[in-house]
Each structure stands twice: as structure tokens, then as C-alpha cells.
């Protein structure tokens, strides 16, 4: 009521004279001294008193919006239920807990939260339609709009976020945290999906951990796997018992079970790459058909399709080396763009770089066998050995041995590693300090032949 002086109330007729008092109403008696009013009473010491209806100074009573039925607390406006559990529950919201079976000791808060839920004992569903139509959802917490709605066998689980776990099947003992995390996931029990869309529509993703936005989204047969990072394992199929760690790791990878992809975009769209390890940013990127292979280093095995049973170790090692199965490329840029170089070993910085179709060969040393396309069944050992050569069935040993060689079926030793003597006698003296039991080669400049000194 607004504040008025008594004189104003008298003028407005809101004060009631004694003859107008209704015994069925409630009044408040007031009396305040006013200037000019005379005293009254036998002792001439009382001022006039007045009464005012209680309705003039107090609002009308309001119907309660919370009530108790049995041992349950429920809202009446909006009305919870009907047919909610009367045992130790709290149901607040329009139709909250309505017709939910075995829902004692539960808390459903939000419009239609827990409505028609079955076996929802000792659970907490908070949010509009959270847990609505959920089956066997005992001891669970569904928090967020539509969280856990229509989830089946969702006992002992926690779904937190808008649409988290909505319509998830066989999703018991799991934690789906994030908007749409675990949405429509099938057979996702004993799993943890954390992040926006994490594990959404994942099939057969039990005992798995998907952490990061879109991690494991639509992943099929991805049980007992760990996908950690934004888009990790997104759309991955048959990726069970695998670990994809890093942003975009294993995204779109099919038949990548029992594999470990670690590093941003490692194993991205790597199809048929099971039992493989791709470690490093972009390692094994789009490396389809790289089964039982190990690509370690930034960009190692990037675009190396059909390079199964291979080991590419080093930055950019084996990048672009398609169809290089059963090979080992070790060192920065080793085997880069060496497509078709199967059953080969390229070891050293840039060893075999650009050497396409150099199968069944061994290149060891910095730039050994670099730009040696089509050189098969050859061995190049030493820095720059076999560089720019084109001939096959060649053994070249020593620094810069057989650079640019075009002669096939030969054995080459770099002059830089062969001592020169004018004759055999000089060689015997010069090599006298050699290790016993060994034979030393030298170039006989007098005879222009390769000769040897045997140390007894």
C-alpha cells in the first residue's frame, strides 16, 4: 500500500467508522495525533482512533506453488506430474516426473524432466525434458536441456550439457559432458565423452574416452579407444583399441584399429592403417594402406599410400613415398617422394630423396642415393654416394662415390678413400702399420691399377 496521511485516508473514505465495522472482516486499528484534533475520553487524554480493512494494506493471499505429497516435494504452478513418485522425491516443473516409474529418491527439475522415465530411482534430471522417457536410468545425473532424453540402459551415468546423451543406447556407467556429447551413441557403456559433439552418434564405442570438440563424432567400432583433441577420431571407422591424440588426429581414418596416431593431423584420413604408429604433426597424413607401419616425425609418411610394413623416421621422412612397402627411411627428408621404393633402406639426411622406384636398395649417408630414380638392387654408402645416378646393380662406397653414375653392374670406391702409392714397395712401407690379419687396398699409380697389401 502507498503511504498516506490519516487525513487523506479519511478524505478518500478508506477509514471505516465504528458503525460500519463488519464482524466478518479483519481490520487494523490506528490512532495518530493530528494537529487541531481535540482529545477525548474520560481523562481527556485519548486521541480519536480509526480502523482500516486489512485488505487495504495487505495483498490477498496467494495459493502455494510448492506442496507436499507423501514424502515428496512438488510444484503446483506449473504443476508437476501427474502420477509422480510420492517417496522422497523433488519434482519441480511442468509435468516433471509425470508417470515416471520407480523414481523415488529422485530430483527432477524442469519442464517434463523425467516424464515417463522408467527405473529412475535415485537420479537427478535437471533441465527441460532432461531424462524424459529414459529407461533403466537409476543412479544417474542428466543435467541440461534434453540431456539423457530417451536414453536406454543409462544407469550409473552422468550426461551434462544440452542434448548430452539424448537417445544414447546401452550407455550405462558413462560420462557424457558437453553439448550433444554422446548424442545417439550406441553401445557406449563404460565410456567418457567430453566436449561439444564428443562421441556423438558413435557406434560400438564402449570403454572409450573421447575428449575434445567433435572427438569420436560418428566413429564406428571404436571401442576401447582414446581420441583426445579437437576432431580426433571424427568419422573414424573400425578404429578400436587405438589412441588418437591431437587436433584432427585420425579424422576419417578407416580400418585403423590397434593404432596410435599422435600429433596434429597425424593419421588424418589414413585408411586401412591398422597396427600402425604415426607420431608427429601430419605424420601418416592421408597414408592409406599403411598397415603395420611406423611413421615418426613431423610429416613423416605424409601421403605415403600403400606403404605398409614400413618405418619412416625423421622430419618429412617418406613424405609422398607411395607404394614403398617393407622399407625403412630414417633421417630428415629420407625417402621423400621416393614412390615405388619398396624393400629399401634409406638412412641419412635426404638419403634417397626423390628416388622413385628405387626398390631393393640401400642408401646410407647424407644425400646418399638422392635423385637416383629407378636405381634398383644397389648399395650406396657415404655422403653423396650415388647422387644423381641412374644405373642399377651398383655398389658405391665412399664420399661422393658414383655421383651421376650411368654404368650398371659395377663396384665403385671413391678415390677420396683410396690411398695412392707409386709401386708395391712404397705401399708395403706406407701400410706397414696396418692391423694384422687385414688387407688394404691402394691405387698403384705406376701401374694404374687397384692393388692391395696384405698384413700377416
Summarised one tens digit per residue, pLDDT across range 165-177 is 999 999 999 999 9
Do 294 and 307 meet the contact criterion of CB atoms below 8 Å apart?
Answer: no
Give DSSP secondary structure letters for 181-230.
TTTT-BS-TT-EEESTTTTTT-BS-TT-EEESTTTTTT-BS-TT-EEEST
Residue 422: inside a domain? yes
Do 229 and 249 meet the contact criterion of CB atoms below 8 Å apart?
Answer: yes
Residue 357: inside a domain? no
Residue 47: inside a domain? yes
Alpha-carbon distance of 308 to 287, in angstroms, equals 9
Phi, psi of 425 (to 5 degrees): -65, -45
Residue 112 cell numbers, joined: 517434463
- Give residues with Cβ within 8 angstroms of 312, minimum separation 6: 293, 294, 295, 296, 297, 300, 301, 304, 318, 321, 327, 328, 329, 330, 334, 335
Residue 48: inside a domain? yes
Residue 339: inside a domain? no
Alpha-carbon distance of 93 to 76, in angstroms, equals 8
Residue 141: inside a domain? no
pLDDT at 43: 54
pLDDT at 416: 83
Given 34, 56, 78, the domain boundary residue is 56
How many domains are there within the chain?
2
- Which ranges of 314-437 would DSSP assign to H, the alpha helix? 424-430
Strand 439-444 and strand 27-30: pairing? unpaired
pLDDT at 1: 44
Residue ranges for the chain with pLDDT beneath 50? 1
Report pTM. Answer: 0.82
> 434: domain range?
418-454
Given 56, 81, 97, the domain boundary residue is 56
- To which H or E segment does residue 412 belong? strand 410-413
Residue 25: inside a domain? yes
Alpha-carbon distance of 455 to 164, in angstroms, equals 81
Given 22, 40, 56, the domain boundary residue is 56
Alpha-carbon distance of 202 to 194, in angstroms, equals 13
Residue 372: inside a domain? no
Specify the residue for cell string 678413400: 417
Amino acid at each position: 500500500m502507498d503511504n498516506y496521511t490519516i487525513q487523506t485516508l479519511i478524505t478518500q473514505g478508506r477509514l471505516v467508522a465504528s458503525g460500519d465495522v463488519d464482524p466478518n472482516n479483519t481490520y487494523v486499528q490506528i490512532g495518530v495525533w493530528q494537529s487541531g484534533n481535540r482529545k477525548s475520553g474520560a481523562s481527556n487524554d485519548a486521541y480519536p482512533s480509526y480502523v482500516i480493512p486489512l485488505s487495504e494494506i495487505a495483498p490477498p493471499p496467494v495459493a502455494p506453488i510448492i506442496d507436499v505429497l507423501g514424502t515428496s516435494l512438488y510444484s503446483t504452478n506449473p504443476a508437476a506430474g501427474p502420477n509422480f513418485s510420492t517417496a522422497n522425491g523433488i519434482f519441480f516443473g511442468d509435468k516433471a516426473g509425470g508417470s515416471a516409474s520407480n523414481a523415488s529418491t529422485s530430483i527432477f527439475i524442469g519442464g517434463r524432466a523425467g516424464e515417463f522415465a522408467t527405473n529412475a530411482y535415485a537420479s537427478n534430471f535437471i533441465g527441460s525434458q532432461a531424462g524424459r522417457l529414459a529407461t533403466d536410468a537409476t543412479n544417474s545425473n542428466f543435467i541440461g536441456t534434453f540431456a539423457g532424453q530417451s536414453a536406454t540402459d543409462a544407469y550409473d551415468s552422468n550426461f551434462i550439457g544440452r542434448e548430452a546423451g539424448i537417445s544414447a543406447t546401452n550407455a550405462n556407467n558413462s560420462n557424457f559432458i558437453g553439448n550433444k556429447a554422446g548424442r545417439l551413441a550406441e553401445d557406449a557403456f563404460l565410456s567418457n565423452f567430453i566436449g561439444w559433439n564428443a562421441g556423438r552418434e558413435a557406434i560400438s564405442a564402449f570403454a572409450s574416452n573421447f575428449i575434445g570438440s567433435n572427438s569420436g563424432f560418428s566413429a564406428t567400432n571404436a571401442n576401447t579407444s582414446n581420441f583426445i583433441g579437437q576432431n580426433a577420431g571424427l568419422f573414424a571407422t573400425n578404429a578400436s583399441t587405438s589412441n588418437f591424440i591431437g587436433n584432427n588426429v585420425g579424422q576419417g581414418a578407416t580400418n585403423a584399429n590397434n593404432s596410435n596416431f599422435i600429433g596434429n593431423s597425424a593419421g588424418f584420413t589414413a585408411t586401412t592403417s591398422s597396427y600402425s604408429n604415426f607420431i608427429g604433426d601430419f605424420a601418416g597424413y592421408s597414408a592409406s594402406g599403411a598397415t603395420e607401419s611406423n611413421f615418426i616425425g613431423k610429416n613423416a609418411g605424409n601421403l605415403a599410400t600403400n606403404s605398409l610394413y614400413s618405418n619412416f623416421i625423421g622430419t618429412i621422412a617418406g613424405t609422398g613415398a607411395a607404394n614403398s612397402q617393407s622399407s625403412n627411411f630414417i633421417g630428415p627428408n629420407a625417402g621423400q617422394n621416393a614412390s615405388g621404393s619398396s624393400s629399401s633402406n634409406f638412412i641419412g639426411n635426404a638419403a634417397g630423396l626423390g628416388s622413385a622406384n628405387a626398390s631393393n636398395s640401400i642408401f646410407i649417408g647424407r644425400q646418399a642415393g638422392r635423385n637416383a630414380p629407378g636405381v634398383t638392387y644397389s648399395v650406396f654408402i657415404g655422403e653423396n654416394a650415388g647422387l644423381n645416378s641412374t644405373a642399377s646393380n651398383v655398389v658405391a662406397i665412399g664420399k661422393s662415390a658414383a655421383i651421376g653414375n650411368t654404368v650398371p653392374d659395377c663396384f665403385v670406391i671413391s678415390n677420396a678413400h683410396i690411398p695412392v702409392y707409386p709401386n708395391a714397395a712404397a705401399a708395403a712401407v706406407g701400410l706397414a702399420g696396418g692391423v694384422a690379419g687385414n688387407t688394404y687396398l691402394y691405387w698403384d699409380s705406376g701401374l694404374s691399377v687397384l692393388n692391395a697389401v696384405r698384413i700377416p
